[in-house]
Amino acid sequence: MTTSDVLIVGSGAAGLTAALNLADRFRVTVLAKGALNEGSTAWAQGGIAAVLEPGDTFENHVEDTMVAGAGLNDRAIVEFVVEGAPAAIARLQALGVPFAEEAGALHLTREGGHSHRRIVHVADATGWAVQEALQRAAEAHPNITLLPDRVAVDLATSRHEERYSGAGHVWGVYAIDRATGQVELHTARATVLATGGAGRTYLFSTAPRGATGDGIAMAWRAGCRVSNMEMMQFHPTCLYNLDVKNFLITEAVRGEGGRLVNPATGRRFMPDYDAERLELAPRDVVARAIDAEIKRYGLDYVHLDISHQPADFVRAHFPNIHDKLLGLGIDMTRDPIPVVPAQHYTCGGIVVDRDGRTDLPGLYAAGECTESGLHGANRLASNSLLECFVFGEAAARHIAASWDGLPPVPSIRAWDESRVTDADEEVVIKQSWTEIRRFMWNYVGIVRTTKRLERAKHRIDLLTSEVEDYYGHFRVTPDLVELRNLLQTADLIVRSALHRHESRGLHFTLDHPSTLADAVDTVLVP
Ligand code: FAD
Ligand code: SIN
């Protein structure tokens, strides 16, 4: 059990940014469900979007974000984030992130949907450098306690008070300590969810194994609205390899000239789908184009080819990808890279306001687990890390400003440990996990139909009753927590998709192929 001023669940870009902005004044505890660097942040490749190029403007970045977001973005939030970008980059530099430079200035690369060179990066491993710098600073701060290997199970709310106050407040979380298997209580006056996305709801995803939508599911169960969960982003270019299933080939490869080619015809095909923006069209457009080529020609993959660029240039810009591919027998300076689209980013999530506040008093959220209004129906490349920095800081600022009004933590009940474990059932968890991910991939992917969504919903309902029964009778384990959350998130995705009777951004359905005049968020209320 821990008691702190502020509890942060998640040690990626959003969680550690919030922690560092609070720690000079408050005692902060940060939980992570595995190692501290096992979230998506450390895996980010391309970089962070910021207006820094002479001739570029905030208006351009806002406009590009809104175009990608297909009308669902909240303009005021987009402006807030875009205008916060240069300062966020400066703070990361101050923490020691070694961004690439050229001729004494930051080197800016290009990605899809951006009208200018705008992406600040550390070669092709930006996230790793960012995670290291944030973690180093957090580890050095005397007011921050970092607790890896703690799997949050559920929020502790007013329902868990010894004397029920009815205030609907969030007082922290119950979390499994992996070392002991026990569920412990971690309380605080303010709690920040920074738990990342839900990519592992899908069979093929670029996201790390822990991206099971835990924060979204916990917030939903506690009474928070979630929004736009049907807007699941598929990255166009994940490596196609039967052994390595989730290695991203950064969009910056297309930004630096990479072309998409149909291996059956040898033709560059993006001119047929978006003659103007070609390979640098927004992700939904490029992913659907690849999907269409694969289906039309019965392919397993398409080719991404940057071999026309000088070999030194390719090696200098993409050293990690180059080395990884070489280990798999592909020399990207000479060979085309086989790629397929894969789930990449969760645009929807817990509804938050500009201060990172959720619907529940005492509960904040930041980063990929949220729907802040920034991304709309499709996230613009490299706007995600940026959102983590801006909203991690905004939540911290609001907690500090409203601290005196936050009530002290009352007495909260300990977790009921009277349930038993049945080891035989572990196999059920593994099977259900695979089943969910497979039907989500097949029925709730890049191109949807109402019938396929209904099929997915039917299976989710069956599995939910099984898992809830299991959850009610057996001791909770990390695997069971993730399975329950995965199922909850899959349900939210499918219900949101069934709710939207149009195609917009990342949600494309053959039954409603046109886009309605009014852009409306899908908001689910518990
Ligand atoms: P994460 O970094 O995912 O961290 C989540 C944290 O929550 C982890 O510490 C995890 O342990 C913890 N957690 C989760 N559940 C629990 C639980 N139940 N109990 C306790 N702790 C929990 N975006 C960009 O802007 N630019 C890029 O170049 C870029 N490249 C990407 C490349 C890849 C391969 C991927 C997968 C994503 C990329 N993204 C990129 C997206 C971006 O990396 C993520 O959206 C962002 O890092 C999310 O940060 P976060 O802090 O919200 O969550
Ligand atoms: C990439 O490098 O292609 C990923 C960038 C992003 O997800 O924003």
Domain with CATH 3.50.50.60 in the chain: 2-230+347-405
29's torsion region: left (phi>0), alpha (psi -120 to 50) or beta?
beta
Candidate of 384, 387, 486 to mutate for ligand 1, largest count of ligand atoms within 8 Å of Cβ: 384
Residue range 2-230+347-405 in CATH 3.40.1180.10: no
Residues with CB under 6 A from ligand 2: 45-46, 250-252, 381-382, 384
Q: Is 267 designated active site?
A: no
Q: Are 444 and 453 in contact (CB under 8 A)?
A: yes
SS3 99: coil
Q: Tell me the pTM.
A: 0.96
Nearest residue (CA) to ligand 1, atom 40: 44
pLDDT in tens for each of the 526 residues of the chain? 899 999 999 999 999 999 999 999 999 999 999 999 999 999 999 999 999 999 999 999 999 999 999 999 999 999 999 999 999 999 999 999 999 999 999 999 999 899 999 999 999 999 999 999 999 999 999 999 999 999 999 999 999 998 887 778 999 999 999 999 999 999 999 999 999 999 999 998 999 999 999 999 999 999 999 999 999 999 999 999 988 878 999 999 999 999 999 999 999 999 999 999 999 998 889 999 999 999 899 999 999 999 999 999 999 999 999 999 999 999 999 999 999 999 999 999 999 999 999 999 999 999 999 999 999 999 999 999 999 999 999 999 999 999 999 999 999 999 987 766 655 666 778 888 899 999 999 999 999 999 999 999 999 999 999 888 888 778 889 999 999 999 999 999 999 999 999 999 999 999 999 999 999 999 999 9
Q: Is 248 in the pocket of ligand 1 (CB under 6 A)?
A: yes
Name, in order, each residue with C-beta under 8 angstroms of 463's C-beta and a sequence gap of 6 or more. 432, 435, 436, 487
pLDDT at 173: 98
Say yes or no: CB of residue 195 within 6 Å of ligand 1.
Answer: yes
Probe target for ligand 1 pocket from 99, 145, 324, 385, with the most ligand atoms within 8 Å of CB: 385
Q: What is the pLDDT of residue 424?
A: 60
Q: Are 317 and 123 in contact (CB under 8 A)?
A: yes
Range(s) within the chain of domains with CATH label 1.20.58.100: 427-514
pLDDT given at position 346: 98
Q: What is the full DSSP assignment across 478-500?
A: HHHHHHHHHHHHHHHHHHHHHH-
**345 CB within 6 A, ligand 1:** yes
* Nearest atom in ligand 2 to 379's CA: 8
At the topology level, CATH places domain 236-341 in Flavocytochrome C3; Chain A, domain 1 (3.90.700)
User: Where in the chain are all domains bearing CATH 3.90.700.10?
Assistant: 236-341
By DSSP bridging, strand 349-351 and strand 226-227 are: antiparallel
Q: How far is the CA of 213 from the centre of ligand 2 (A)?
A: 19
DSSP string, 111-153: -TT-SS--EE-STT-HHHHHHHHHHHHHHH-TTEEEE-SEEEE
C-alpha 208 to ligand 1 mean position (Å): 8
Question: Looking at 200, 254, 259, 283, which residue is catalytic?
Answer: 283
Question: What is the pLDDT at residue 419?
Answer: 66
d(CA 391, CA 303): 37
> What are the angstrom distances between the C-alpha of 64 and each of 73, 250, 390, 418?
11, 19, 18, 54
Beta-carbon-side half-sphere exposure of residue 516 (alpha carbons within 13 Å):
11
Residue 147 backbone dihedrals phi, psi, to 5 degrees: -120, 95
Q: Which ligand number lies closest to the CA of residue 146?
A: 1
Pocket probe for ligand 1: among 9, 40, 134, 387, the residue whose CB has the most ligand atoms within 8 Å is 40
The CATH class for the domain spanning 427-514 reads mainly alpha
pLDDT at 14: 98
Ligand 2 center–CA 43 separation, angstroms: 10
Beta strands in 281-440 (DSSP E): 302-305, 337-346, 349-351, 363-365, 370-371
